[in-house]
Amino acid sequence: MNSRLAYYLYITVFLGLIQSTASAQMPNNSTGKQPNIIFILADDLGYGDLGCYGQQKITTPNLDKMAAEGMRFTQFYAGDAVCAPSRCAFMTGMHTGHTSIRGNKGVKPEGQFPMAATSTTFVQLLQKQGYHTAAFGKWGLGFIGSDGDPNRKGFDLFYGYNCQTLAHNYYPDHLWENQNKILLPGNVNGRTDYSADLIHQQAMQYLDKQQLGQPFFTYLTYTLPHGDLTVPHDSVYEHYVTLFNNKPLVPTEGKPKKEGNKPFEPYPHAAYAAMVSRLDKYVGEILALLKDKKLDEHTLVLFSSDNGPHREDGNDPDYFNSNGNLKGIKRDLYEGGIREPLIAYWKGTVKPKTVNTNVTAMWDLFPTFLNVANDKNIPQTDGVSILPTLFKPSMVIKHPYLYWELHESGGKQAIRLGDWKAVKLQVSVLPNSPIELYNLAIDPAEHTNVAAKYPAMVKQMEQLFKEAHQPDVNWPLLASEGAQPN
């Protein structure tokens, strides 16, 4: 039996056990209705950017309260270290050795390389289970009209940016509602409509219309705190300007403004902090609305981020300790680039003040959400449902291993196997890129490469790298595949 077949047999049997356990442990449902699901995804928020994960400079009272009233995961991983492949892993339940999107690749005039027509998202399956589905924010998985269009991947309603490149501009001249371009004339020669606020307002209006009836899945993929660092200079921003007492940055001579209506930010620390606080405020308003509508006991709410913190547009993750003392940031497959917060809230179901130490990943949410919907025909993916651990956090969820690949910076690969972490760099350049090996149990910050001490583990990791990466003509990674390093 080859290793790939053995892997999928393991997943099939184990997922079946998890699914039956989850179904047995689902809480009694007096309404007879399927639970609602809300997934809130921050953009480039680091593991250490929230108070409940150790942040000292930025205040996040609503997310801290969400964690106190729910469950905080300490070993949850993003789908990848950049936007599009991370979100594709989330949508399809596949790690980036198997997904149809494995990097950020733009398409003119607006949009990104699309998900394949053959890629099935969990949202499409939730639709079949009777869920109304809506997404608000940034998409980036296929331009309008493509096979990756959100309306073709399971969403009844989409509002926001289709293109993640244009999402760098927080005062755009348009957004999208399904296939309809929503023009924002106030932003053509001015800065009238802050996109994050518009997106949140649309999401709140949608949620306010929901009742105990048809179940809903809402994907809130906010652009905060992604660059460009742009935020209204309100009282929160001014508070951080005063608190940090930084000297203003001086723009490069001859370039006082950025392209278009994206101005130079003289206080990037204050801007980043204000963007995180604004996101925290949005979360508080969502949870308050659920409580007011008496939907909080019938709605699973999850909060996470797509990858580690960025160092763009003057942002300084070192200043905030945004990666939580972990090594690396966005575009790194070290822990700081892919380990993320995950907070679960479900009043009356998830026990308050619980900490979940299971090693879990973005692709686990595919079977998890379908378990919540009581879907009996969950397809085979790389994910394992974490639903049982929401009821019993001491329950151990195990994967054969976790895998990531990054098609930037010369190509990178990483594997987590138990407490062992292997990283390969420059794989698009070097035919036999050396393996770095770390023991996360004693070295979570990946300070010490112990590959020389454990040759047997290095050999096992080398075999797993070969097994996990399924070649794709659209995404050549390895030097042997003719990959071109970025």
pLDDT of 28 reads 39
Instruction: Say whether pLDDT at 24 is over 50.
Output: no
Instruction: Say whether pLDDT at 29 is over 50.
Output: no
Instruction: Say whether pLDDT at 260 is over 70.
Output: no
pLDDT of 252 reads 63
pLDDT of 33 reads 79
Instruction: Say whether pLDDT at 8 is over 60.
Output: no
Q: What is the pLDDT of residues 166-179, one digit of tens each?
A: 999 999 999 999 99
Dihedral of the alpha carbons of 471, 474, 475, 477, in degrees to the nearest 10 = 60
Domain ranges in the chain are: 3-25+35-401, 407-481
CA atoms of 22 and 370, how far apart (whole Å) = 11
Instruction: Say whether pLDDT at 31 is over 50.
Output: no
Q: What average pLDDT does the structure give for the chain?
A: 92
109 cis-preceded (ω within 30 degrees of 0): yes
Alpha helices (H) in 189-294, listed in sequence order: 195-208, 235-244, 268-292
CA angle 251, 255, 256 (to 5 degrees): 55
Q: What is the pLDDT of residues 89-143, one digit of tens each?
A: 999 999 999 999 999 999 999 999 999 999 999 999 999 999 999 999 999 999 9
Phi, then psi, of 298 in degrees rounded to 5: -120, 15
Mean pLDDT score, 250-267 = 66
> Residue 47 in contact with residue 308, Cβ under 8 Å?
yes
Mean pLDDT score, 397-410 = 96
Tokens describing residue 173: 């001249």
Instruction: Say whether pLDDT at 5 is over 60.
Output: no
Q: Which fold has domain 407-481?
A: Arylsulfatase, C-terminal domain (3.30.1120)
Instruction: Say whether pLDDT at 2 is over 90.
Output: no
Same topology, domains 3-25+35-401 and 407-481? Answer is: no
State the architecture of 3-25+35-401 in CATH terms: 3-Layer(aba) Sandwich (3.40)
**Of 12-21, 219-228, 408-417, minimum mean pLDDT range:** 12-21
At 272, the pLDDT band (50, 70, 90 cuts) reads very high
Q: What is the pLDDT of residues 280-302, one digit of tens each?
A: 999 999 999 999 999 999 999 99
- From the CB of residue 56, how many other CB atoms can be counted at a distance below 10 Å? 9
Percentage above 70 pLDDT, the chain: 91
At 15, the pLDDT band (50, 70, 90 cuts) reads very low
pLDDT of 485 reads 75
